[in-house]
Structure 1
Amino acid sequence: MPHRRSSRIGLVSDPAVSRRTLLGGVAAFALGSTEAVAQAPARPAVPAKSAPEVKPDAKPETPVRTLSAVPGTTRLKPEPAVATPVWSFDSAAVPPVVRVKLGETVRLRVENKTDRPLSLHWHGVRNQNPMDGVGGLTQAPIPPGGDFTYTFVPPDAGSFLIRPLVVGGSSEPSGRGLAGMLVVEEVVPPPVDHDFTVLMQDWRLSDNGTLLPFGQTAFAASSGRLGNLVTVNGKPVPDAITVRPGSRVRLRLANACNARGTRIRFDNLKVYVAAVDGQPTDTFEPLRATLPFPPGTRYDLMLDMPAEAGASGSITALVGNGLALATLTTSGEPVTGKRGAIGPIGENKLLPAEVRLQNALRRDVVLTGGARIDKDKPATEPAYTGDAGKVWAVNGAWGNAGVAPLFTVKRGQVVVLALRNDTAFPQALHLHGHSFRLLHPLDDGWEPYWLDTFQLLEGRTARIAFKADNPGRWMIGATVLERFDTGLWGWFEVT
């Protein structure tokens, strides 16, 4: 049985790099901070044969909350630029943060008042399959003028993304601004003075503030729709966060960009990683105070601010000379009282303590397609001349509403996927409905944290292992949404 080695973190798979190495993302992204407030085939989509049971001691259902996806405007550039035409939830510039306690029911009616089909994926939630929110696989997309009510009990505490995800139509609703976060609070959360969400987005704007066109094959076949303006929680960076001296702060970072990944650095901030992709881990300091941050990734960070007023630190995206995403500054009267050192926030006992690989179902998953780079002319732009709708493929098939499953597996079986990136670009990938371990070469161990999203470098192979304990039809696909829209996904079935 592979053993777990103690480690720091490296979420970009590279068998040549030690586990203590933090590998980076590809390009850049966007941030925002919202403080916690009081709680208030694929064949036509069909229900899964069974779904995770709600525990008898589950708390009463929360009331139905309505989110209306509506066209509107928001000011992203100063005058004389015009206000940018966007889509938002409930006409609010700040993306929503849905908060529940572990054991409570999420009940959210989504009204689609845009002119495109819509569905919302709860990125990272090990959800009941009919509630996973993949339009065209797990549900019929919500048509313009229609609505759909998502009702589920998240099995895990943690920080999760809300992203539009419709087969062939995800990039535009995301690029127009639709995003949010789901925060499932622990029954007994770690004591902190502040709990902030920090949601990165980026926007591709013209000089006059309008959105540049969508659906460009050149973007889909290469790096995706990379924005030229970054926001944090819907506002241009940097976001300014002020707390009392000596405060203990929890930061929930999430990357909701269409395509941009980045490394993030913590300047004058001593942070500890408490959870990765929503799942708690042994607390550790990031190596060289940096973390990789591809689209779809989330981190829960804990830090103690200095005891004196006027102290300041920042979260910086390593783009160009560095882009400050958020600043934290102390002001006012210090927080008094003693507290212990920052430690783990607990463990998720619903996830297996070990992943037994001896009798695992093993499958190869090969990513191909996209633009190619002329090795004799590396300075030239990548070129693509193929079908604009079939840019990418998984095991030779481009993702579409009629694609056959990659494999079928009995519930409870351990699965090992060997993912090979035969494209010219790093690929950020997301596994739906499950959390996985990133294996070391030759299956001789695994990274000591659970993931649902990671980045696979071009020309590399990575192996992931998970227990297929959630019945239904589940995707594995690109988190760069232009690539997803043009075929970079497949699905498997747990029976």
Structure 2
Amino acid sequence: MSRRTLLTGAALAAAGPLWPKSAQAQTSGAAQTSAAADGMPTVLLEAKPGVVEFQAGQPTDIFGFGGKAPGPELRLRKGEAFRAKLVNSTTRPLTLHWHGMRIVNDMDGVAGLTQDPVAPGSSAEIRFTPPDAGTFIYRPLAPGFTAELTERGLAGVVVVEDPAAPAVDLDRVIAVDDWRLSDQHQLEPFGAAEDRASVGRLGNLLTVNGARAPERISVAPGARVRLRLANLCNARLMRIRFEGVKAFVIATDGQPTDSFEPLRSTLPFAPGTRYDVMFDAGDAGSGGSVTAVIGQGLPLVEVKVEGEPMSARRPPPPPMAPLGDNPLLPPAIPLQKAQRADVVIEGGAKPGPDGKAAAYAGDPNRIWTINGQGGLAAGDKSPGKPVLVVKRGATVVLALVNRTPYPQVMHVHGHSFRLLHPLDDGWEPYWLDTVIVPEGQTARIAFVADNKGKWLIGSTVLERLDTGLSAWIDVS
């Protein structure tokens, strides 16, 4: 996962507004809110059964926030308090994890580590202030039930807006998910041992923003477009390719980066990964696409350029430029003083001679280990011992050692990290919170542990997370 790897996508099939606000796209499908006595709005996030039609006339039963999947697109403001009420109207225990958000620990939403799960028929208040602008994900994290709850549709995207962000003509979330449906258009049964012990539950239908891919977007000639790509899949690692548009990446995993054009127009796109990309539309009649590199390629987004040029409505935009550094993240990481720990990942089924996973004969609930120990599982009252205990402000270097025959996608909660060069002599010029570790390889990551609490390090392939692939660090 070098800088070249990120730019090529070869990792695994893994100041004020520039023109008036009225020219900018407005979001739709906002969450239901209510006013409290203190005047602060409360967003209602009710997880409950619902029905969707991925194909007209063919209903599919799901769980969804508000009965829809994905859940409502949440638009917050950096540095402004947010409050929500989580109502569990499902049949499973539930929490909400705010994937990638560096918020207070007791709101991180990890059952058995940062809080107790919300029982069916119960509710809980969520309150935090987002410190960073960017694109993030919300979804359950109740070990033992995470995969099923997410695969049934309980996931959504959070956009934390920055008042100083460059203005665009269209700001669109692209939430990608996959679903495993039967011939009767219902979700296939959950919990198969071969899924848990190998690549995870891969779907047979890709959706964008809850509808069968691709999503079709119409923009005016010369329009400046920002796409916020988020992988909500529970297991599918893929690459995405940009065709017909000159796209620049301006943020990775929610954090701004030096803007770059992906080499060969391709990026790795693992579960939990987010990219913010920006491009300028061409002349009328032109277009482009964002394609998932699966088989012969599956379009996720199709862009059509038509109508009156934007130059007739507003001044021309300035040249494409980086968003600027996040001042809350350190400009340098003192590696010489780092506290280090190995995170050794083992377990899973061995692939058979045909490349498919062999049958798994072990405990289907305890398949994966880190440093020889299984992580959080259903009903656990104690998270066990941390892999590292550090004081707040310490530099941490973790060696993610993958001793399995599968790529591992690992997410660090509450922090953003740098991917180190193999000799620890520097780091890649972007921040991440989710990283792909190829099979049989080691990735080293570094961060300043500036967020107090118990922070999970877990797989974003959720069947693995449910069956032991997690650990945690204690920042005191």
TM-score by length of structure 1 reads: 0.88
2:119 corresponding residue in structure 1: 143
User: Paired residue for 2:21?
Assistant: none
CA distance in 1, matches of 2:272, 2:257: 18
1:328-350 Cα offsets, whole Å, 9 max, x none, are 11121110132211101121000
Task: Kindly state the Cα deviation for residue 245 of structure 1 after the two structures are TM-superposed.
Answer: 1.3
The 5 Å alignment of 1:63-212 reads: 63-79=41-57, 82-212=58-188
8 Å contact kept, 2:392–2:451: yes
**Residue 225 in 1 paired to residue 212 in 2?**
no
Change (3 A) 1:9 1:197: farther
Match of 1:471 in 2: 452
Instruction: Give, in angstroms, the shift of residue 365 of structure 1.
Output: 0.8
Aligned to 1:50: none
Give the secondary structure class of the aligned counterpart of 1:288. Answer: helix
In the TM superposition, residue 310 of structure 1 has moved relative to its aligned partner by 2.1
Q: Deviations over 1:112-158 (max 9, x none)?
A: 10111111110000110000011221111111111111100011010
Whole-Å separation in 2 of the counterparts to 1:250 and 1:196: 6
CA distance in 1, matches of 2:356, 2:201: 19
Equivalence for 2:34: none
CA shift, 1:92, in A, is 3.1
Q: Kindly indicate whether the alpha-carbon contact (under 8 Å) linking 2:69 and 2:156 is maintained by their aligned counterparts in 1.
A: no
Q: Secondary structure of the equivalent of 2:55? A: coil
What is the TM-score normalised by the length of structure 2?
Answer: 0.91
Q: Are 1:489 and 2:464 an aligned pair? A: no
State the distance in 2 between where 1:439 and 1:175 align.
Answer: 33
In the TM superposition, what is the alpha-carbon distance from 1:36 to its structure 2 partner? 4.1
Q: In the aligned structure 1, how far is the partner of 2:360 from the partner of 2:155?
A: 30
Please state whether the residue corresponding to 2:423 is helix, strand or coil. helix
- Partner Cα separation in structure 2 for residue 467 and residue 328 of structure 1: 40
Does residue 22 of the first structure (1) align with residue 9 of the second (2)? Answer: yes
User: Which has the higher relative contact order, 1 or 2, with Cα contacts under 8 A spaced 6 or more apart?
Assistant: 1
**Aligned match for 1:315, one of 287, 290, 295:** 290
Per-residue deviation at 1:244? Answer: 1.3
Q: How far apart in 2 are the matches of 1:418 and 1:167?
A: 24
Question: Is 1:37 aligned to 2:37, yes or no?
Answer: no
Q: Secondary structure at the match of 2:186?
A: coil
Q: Which amino acid aligns with 2:5?
A: G
Inter-CA distance 464–380: structure 2 relative to 1 (3 Å threshold): closer
- Give the counterpart letter for 2:330 in structure 1: P
2:392 to 411, 418, 431: 411
Structure 1 gaps, min length 5: 1-6, 12-19, 28-34, 41-59
Greater shift after overlay, 396-405 or 416-425? 396-405
Checking the alignment, whether the CA contact within 8 Å between 1:84 and 1:210 is kept in structure 2 is yes
- Give 1:270's aligned residue: 246
The percentage of counterpart residues that share the same residue type is 52
Following superposition, the deviation at residue 21 of structure 1 comes to: 4.6
Give the structure 2 partner of residue 49 of structure 1. none
The answer for the alignment partner of 2:405 in structure 1 is 424
Report the Cα distance in structure 2 between the residues aligned to 1:148 and 1:469, rounded to whole angstroms: 27
C-alpha spacing 1:225/1:119, structure 2 compared with 1 (3 Å)? same
How do 1:365-404 residues align onto structure 2 when only pairs under 5 Å count? 365-374=343-352, 377-379=353-355, 381-400=357-376, 401=380, 402=382, 403-404=384-385
CA contact (8 A) 2:69 2:154 kept: no
* 8 Å contact from structure 2 (residues 29, 72) kept in 1: no
Task: Tell whether the 8 Å contact from 1:24 to 1:262 is kept in structure 2 after alignment.
Answer: no
Alpha-carbon distance in structure 2 between the residues aligned to 1:207 and 1:123: 33
Aligned equivalents of 1:225, 1:209: Cα separation in 2: 17
Instruction: Provide the C-alpha distance between the structure 2 equivalents of 1:261 and 1:199, rounded to a whole number of angstroms.
Output: 14
Structure 1 residue 22 displacement after superposition: 3.4
Q: Equivalents in 2 of 1:382, 1:342: separation in Å?
A: 49
8 Å CA contact 1:8–1:284 kept in 2: the answer is no
CA separation of 1:385 and 1:369: change in aligned 2, threshold 3 A: same
Cα distance per residue 1:28-56 (max 9 Å; x no partner): xxxxxxx642898xxxxxxxxxxxxxxxx
1:324 is aligned to 2:299: yes
Cα distance, 1:96 vs structure 2: 1.2
Structure 2 equivalent of residue 345 of structure 1: 323
In structure 2, the CA distance between the partners of 1:189 and 1:38, relative to structure 1 (3 Å rule), is farther
Change (3 A) 1:184 1:62: farther
Q: Check 1:206–1:66 CA distance in 2 against 1; reply closer, same or farther (3 A cut).
A: same
CA contact (8 A) 1:69 1:111 kept: yes
Matching residue of 1:334 = 309
Question: What is the aligned-residue RMSD (CA, Å)?
Answer: 1.7
> Does the 8 A contact of 2:69 with 2:155 survive in 1?
no
Describe the SS at the equivalent of 2:228: strand
